[in-house]
Amino acid sequence: MNFSGPVLVSIATYVLMLLAYRYHSKTWFHVPVMCAIVVYDLCMPFYLYSTRDWYRRLIEQEEIFSFMIWTHLLLLITLYVLYTLQIIAGRQLLKGDNDAREDHAAQGKGILIARAFVILTAMMLVEPERPVEAVALLMGG
């Protein structure tokens, strides 16, 4: 696995997400932190698209057929769907509808699991900046 800048920031925001999950009763902390992380996760694909050579990687290197790419994409879509449901339930909670509490809690656990897998698959997909040195390290040299 490879740790790039975006992966390290994602891990840091995951730790922050765990803290916000733990202190869910403190809405002054929980709501802004979770909203910021959702915005971060929504902006990350745009950042990666603008800073990476996707044509070379997906088309020329034929990684478009990689199971790991498709797994990562499906996990990301799952995370975005959970975020949508979570926001709907969270807004209901803020309006005073306590019937949404169970859904919000269950979706929160699902988000923690899905986001962990999104970060793990991203770590496996990171292309090393210096591939020759990475191969040398793998070969023990």
Whole-number average pLDDT of the chain: 86
Which token pair is 135? 């191969």
More confidently predicted of 132 and 18: 18
124: pLDDT strictly greater than 90: no
**Distance, CA of 13 to chain centre:** 9
41: pLDDT strictly greater than 80: yes
More confidently predicted of 140 and 124: 124
pLDDT digits (tens, 9 = 90+) for 1-27: 556 788 889 999 999 999 999 999 999
Query: Residue ranges of the domains in the chain?
Result: 5-138
When pLDDT is cut at 50, 70 and 90, the band that residue 42 belongs to is very high
Task: Give, in order, the Cα–Cα distances in Å from 20 to each of 26, 34, 35, 84, 119.
Answer: 8, 7, 11, 18, 18
User: Cα–Cα–Cα angle for 30, 22, 81, nearest 5°?
Assistant: 65
- Output the pLDDT for position 21: 95
pLDDT digits (tens, 9 = 90+) for 60-81: 777 777 788 899 999 999 999 9
Torsion sign across C-alpha atoms 127, 130, 135, 140: negative
Which token pair is 83? 């975020």
- Output the pLDDT for position 36: 96
